Structures are given as C-alpha cells and as structure tokens.
Amino acid sequence: MLYFTTEQNIRTDPSFYTVLTPTDIFDGVTYGEIEVYYGVVNLTMNFSGYRIVDERTGEPRELHQTNEAYYQNNLHAFWINVPPSERTTDGIVALEHIIRVGGMFVIPADRFDTSTYSKIGDAPTTYYYENYAGGIGVAKKLFSVWQDVLKKRIEIAENCECRSGCQNCIEPAKNYNSGNADDKMDKKGGVALARHILDEAKRGPDGRFQNGMMVPV
C-alpha cells in the first residue's frame, strides 16, 4: 500500500504489521498435515511509522517512527494451516489471493466485507476473515465450499497468460493487505500449493473438531 505526497517524485511508505490470533474454533477438519478451521480471531494491526522515499533514487529522505495499534476482536474467520516447506514458502501469498478472489465468485459478498492475511514460519497459515465483529456468515459458508473455491480459481489462473498473478486471475482489484508473508506473489507456487491441499483433501478427513478437540475419524 502506497501513500503519495503532493511533492513530485516523493512517496510515503507506511510500515505496519498484522497479527491474527485464533480465540475460538467452531468447526475444523484435518487431512493429514493440512488443517482447515472455521472460528474466531482477534486482529491487531501495528503501525510503526513511515518513511519518505525519493522515487528517482529509491533512497529514503526521512524516517518517522511511532507506536500505534488498531484492534478488532471477535472476527469470524476461515483459515488453513499447512506444514512448512519450500512449496509453502513459495506459494502461500498466492494461495491467500486464490482464496480471497475465488471466494468472491462462489459466495455472495461485497469485497469490503472480508480481508485476508498469510504468515509463514513454523506454522504457515492463510486466513480469510470478516471485517465486522460477530459474524456475517461469509467465513462459515467458505468452510463448507472452500474446495470449490480452490478448484475454480486454479482453473482461471492456469488459463491466464500472466506469470506472477494479475487482476484477471488471482490478484484482487485493489490489494489492501499486500506484503503479509512476502511482497511478491508466485502464481505458479500458489497453484501448486492449492493443488497439494486438494489432493490431500481427496483422501478424506482423518480428524474432526469435536467438543474442543480434534478427534480421529
């Protein structure tokens, strides 16, 4: 996300990071090492400052630091946990956008009703969460149709001639949450990761969330 100043050749780059914390699980299922959940998350968006950058040289001219945070609690969400691997690292950002854009074609909802977020590390996760506390039904619906969402968007992405993802296939018209797990999107990696998740799901679930715990099925 870029904010432009009025001075020519100068732009303002904000610095922020997001933390999503699951606080409750309504439903969940596992397919081997793939975990799929519908539940509640709390959102913390931390704004740590901004820098003024000269676009002609790419050099920062000013650095301003602050410490502010924005909180939203009780947001209903759908999320997928995947095991860490090179495939996950390469594809998780594109997977995030495959879910976000694909969801808009399968579930009736305004694009401002939901947001997405992905993280890598020891527990790579892609989140699709509602922007209003208390639940509006979108995340719940996605939990029941997520495989259809992936299949539909994979088909569109593979038929698109772009290399890294564009607004004709997996990139949202306005990407308000870019740079979560990584700044760059690897469409090929995202499609590969989505296919891997679907392949695991074809085998059927081996666990179901019941009475506060994951139970073998």
Question: How far is CA 189 from its chain centroid?
Answer: 15
- pLDDT surpasses 60 at 106: yes
- pLDDT surpasses 50 at 4: no
pLDDT, averaged across the chain: 87
- pLDDT surpasses 90 at 164: no
Ranges 109-118, 128-137, 179-188: which has the least confidence: 179-188
Label residue 169 by pLDDT band (50, 70, 90).
confident
- pLDDT surpasses 70 at 63: yes
Domain-wise residue ranges, the chain: 25-41+72-202
Instruction: Tell me the CATH number of domain 25-41+72-202, given options 3.30.310, 3.30.1360, 3.30.1380, 2.60.40.
Output: 3.30.1360
- pLDDT tens figures, 180-200: 444 567 899 999 999 999 999
Question: How far is CA 36 from its chain centroid?
Answer: 14
- pLDDT tens figures, 35-50: 999 999 999 988 888 8
pLDDT at 196: 96
- pLDDT surpasses 50 at 178: no
Higher pLDDT, 24 or 106: 24
> Percentage of the chain surpassing pLDDT 70?
91
- pLDDT surpasses 70 at 179: no
Ranges 117-126, 147-156, 175-184, 202-211: which has the least confidence: 175-184
